[in-house]
Structure 1
């Protein structure tokens, strides 16, 4: 069986939500939540926190998982996404790379285990990633891109556009380095529920996610079903 390593990328200099990865969140923090959840997932052989943050390293050590101290350039805004993904592959000794950002705190253990099972069981694709389904009237550069304004459908009849939500992604390490991206040439997408799809990217996202986490995880876990 191939080795699967879950990599948690943490940058101390997050810009839009200051220190979102480590700041208090529902009595804990997003990094701790992610490590605890990944420890539950059958099939993951190692968890690595890839970071330039000493606080994140301390949390990793306290929770008994590995860490990689990221070089300054790869934690800066000068580093492109492609450079970053290629570097993650180069510094991670594994067969299969699992990309697991902390900003998706609601991805279920079952969803990740299903993704792992399908990654091993179906050979027609080279990566598997969680996505959200978008049904919105979308425009780009002054033009509608998913419907005809002269014959507008009801919103429920819009095409299902799948958007990466980065909750959980699996790709072979060699492909990650080759493509310089966590998405391969033949991706398989796994649709997640509305709550699972939440990705914290703005201060409003952070606030809403924290309230949902308190309500669904701390107060009433049944609401996640």
Structure 2
């Protein structure tokens, strides 16, 4: 059993109504795009849309796919003060078995072809001893905090060749896969031996700020989801 968990809270402040507002002329916006992508992903047994936004719940309920399950969660778990950790603890109360792929409407360029590849890779990784998978963006360059370099030693070379720098990985929030047992055991949406699924930069686009929304709209109008 593989369940997609799609959280869509009402309390977004940086991009108001980002889940359901029109996107690149598409009525239903990011939610419509993501539901269409998930419904085309045949590897999924169930798709849980979890929200405290009546508009999201109404829109999702009209999709003609019997795998879609509507979860109307409380405002306590859908405000701008709700932490991801709180939501993680909630997931096992609505998903009782199998494996979970946690994904977001804010990754519109992650399509059904990508989901199939990610899911198949996850199952292959389980056979190799991994217990989870998450999508990441590989960054191999000069990364600093406010005071110093954090991914290379300037006492050895102040400006090494970038290909010689140890890469770091940014979690792009595209997808997280693990078993529901690991949710219960670790209180996390990944386990303790996670496979990092590297994505291309365009697939890693995550709409988190107003400028992200505008940029993604422009890209979508030109290329659609098939970057």
Query: Do Structure 1 and Structure 2 share a fold, with TM-score over 0.5?
Result: yes
Report how far residue 159 of structure 1 moved.
2.2
Aligned residue in 2 for 1:96: 99
Aligned residue in 2 for 1:198: 205
TM-score, L = length of structure 2: 0.89
Report how far residue 107 of structure 1 moved.
0.9
Identify the match of residue 81 of structure 1 among 79, 84, 95. 84
Identify the match of residue 66 of structure 1 among 66, 69, 76. 69
The residue matched to 2:224 in structure 1 has which SS? helix
Aligned residue in 1 for 2:189: 182
* Compared CA separation, residues 156 and 207, structure 1 to 2 (3 A): farther
Answer yes or no: is the 8 Å Cα contact 1:89–1:177 preserved in 2: yes
Would you say 1:148 and 2:148 are equivalent positions?
A: no
The residue matched to 2:43 in structure 1 has which SS? coil
Partners in 2 of 1:94 and 1:215 — Cα distance?
A: 41
Answer yes or no: is the 8 Å Cα contact 2:5–2:50 preserved in 1: yes
Deviates more, 1:188-197 or 1:71-80: 71-80
Report how far residue 90 of structure 1 moved.
2.2
Matches within 5 A, 1:37-52: 37-52=37-52
Partners in 1 of 2:58 and 2:21 — Cα distance?
A: 14
Deviates more, 1:42-51 or 1:109-118: 109-118
After superposition, the CA RMSD in angstroms is 1.7
Answer yes or no: is the 8 Å Cα contact 1:175–1:184 preserved in 2: yes
Report how far residue 54 of structure 1 moved.
0.5
Deviates more, 1:51-60 or 1:89-98: 89-98
Partners in 2 of 1:207 and 1:74 — Cα distance?
A: 28
Partners in 2 of 1:155 and 1:205 — Cα distance?
A: 27
Report how far residue 118 of structure 1 moved.
2.5
Structure 2: give runs of 5+ residues left out of the alignment: none
TM-score, L = length of structure 1: 0.90
Answer yes or no: is the 8 Å Cα contact 1:86–1:178 preserved in 2: no
Identify the match of residue 11 of structure 2 among 7, 10, 13. 13
Aligned residue in 1 for 2:33: 33
Partners in 1 of 2:24 and 2:135 — Cα distance?
A: 24
Aligned residue in 1 for 2:140: 135
Report how far residue 156 of structure 1 moved.
4.1
